[in-house]
Amino acid sequence: MNEYILEPAINVEVMDRANVLVIGAGPAGCAAAIAAARAGAGRVILAERYNHLGGMATGGQVILIPSLSYKKTMMIKGIMLEALEKLSSIKNGFFGPSRDIMGSEKPSDVEHWKPYFNMTRNEHVCYGGYTDPEIFKIVLQQMIEDAGVIVYLHCWGCRAIGQGGIVHGVCFESKEGRKAILADTVIDCTGDGDIAASAGASFRHAYHDGLRNASLGLVYRLGIEDFQKFTDYTVVDREGWKLHNKKLNEISGFPIVLFPTGQSNVAWVDNWLLGYDCLNVKDLTTVEFRVRRTIFDVIEYVNNNKIPGLYPMTLYDTAYQTGTRGSRRILCNKELSIQDVYQGTSFDDVVAVLPSIEVITVKGGLDEIYPEKPTQIPLGALQVKNMKNLLVAGRCFSSDAQANNLINLIPHCFAMGQAAGVACAVAVRSGTEVSNVNYVEVREELLCQGVYLPDGEK
Residue 1 lies in a domain: no
- Residues 180 and 76 reside in one and the same domain: yes
What is the pLDDT at residue 366? 43
User: Of 295, 324, 353, which one is at a domain's C-terminal end?
Assistant: 324
The total number of structural domains that make up the chain: 2
How far apart CA 407 and CA 305 sit, in angstroms, is 38
- Residues 232 and 139 reside in one and the same domain: no
In our burial notation (b when 16+ CB lie closer than 10 A, e otherwise), range 20-41 reads bbbbbbbbbbbbbbbbbbbbeb
CATH code of 243's domain:
3.30.70
What is the pLDDT at residue 365? 45
Q: Distance from first CA to last CA of the chain, Å, rounded?
A: 62
Written as one letter, the residue type at 325 is R
CATH code of 441's domain:
3.50.50.60
CA dihedral 117, 120, 123, 125 (to 10 degrees): -160
Residue 154 lies in a domain: yes
- Residues 423 and 439 reside in one and the same domain: yes
- Structural domain containing residue 351: 13-116+127-211+326-448
Residue 360 lies in a domain: yes
Nearest to 316 by CA among 138, 446, 134: 134
What is the pLDDT at residue 359? 67
User: Of 324, 358, 385, which one is at a domain's C-terminal end?
Assistant: 324
- pTM to 2 decimal places: 0.96
How far apart CA 353 and CA 11 sit, in angstroms, is 45
- Residues 52 and 167 reside in one and the same domain: yes
What is the pLDDT at residue 370? 62
Give yes or no for a cis peptide into 312 (omega within 30° of 0). yes
| SS3 readout for 227-242 | HHHHHHHHHHCHHHHH
- Residues 298 and 310 reside in one and the same domain: yes
- Residues 198 and 345 reside in one and the same domain: yes
Contact 29, 23 (CB under 8 A): yes
User: Of 324, 347, 368, which one is at a domain's C-terminal end?
Assistant: 324
What is the pLDDT at residue 364? 44
For 106-122, the DSSP string reads -HHHHHHHTTSTTSEET
Residue 290 lies in a domain: yes
Q: Which helix (H) or strand (E) holds 421?
A: helix 410-430
Residue 3 lies in a domain: no
352 pairs with which residues across the strands?
377
Q: What is the pLDDT along the chain (458 residues), one digit of tens a residue?
A: 789 999 899 999 999 999 999 999 999 999 999 999 999 999 999 999 999 999 999 999 999 998 899 889 999 999 999 999 999 999 999 999 999 999 999 999 999 998 888 899 889 999 999 999 999 999 999 999 999 999 999 999 999 999 889 999 999 999 999 999 999 999 999 999 999 999 999 999 876 667 888 899 999 999 999 999 999 999 999 999 999 999 999 999 999 999 999 899 999 999 999 999 999 999 999 999 999 999 999 999 999 999 999 999 999 999 999 999 999 999 999 999 999 999 999 999 999 999 877 666 555 444 455 677 899 999 999 999 999 999 999 999 999 999 999 999 999 999 999 999 999 999 999 999 999 999 999 999 999 999 999 987 54
Residue 428 lies in a domain: yes
For 41-108, the DSSP string reads -SSEEEE-SSSSS-GGGTTT---EE---EETTEE-S-HHHHHHHHHHHTSTTSEES--GGGTT---HH
Nearest to 361 by CA among 338, 332, 340, 345: 338
What is the pLDDT at residue 209? 65
Residue 455 lies in a domain: no
How far apart CA 76 and CA 69 sit, in angstroms, is 7
Residue 5 lies in a domain: no
- Residues 184 and 200 reside in one and the same domain: yes
Residues 6+ apart with CB under 8 A from 391: 185, 186, 187, 188, 382, 383, 384, 420, 423, 424, 434
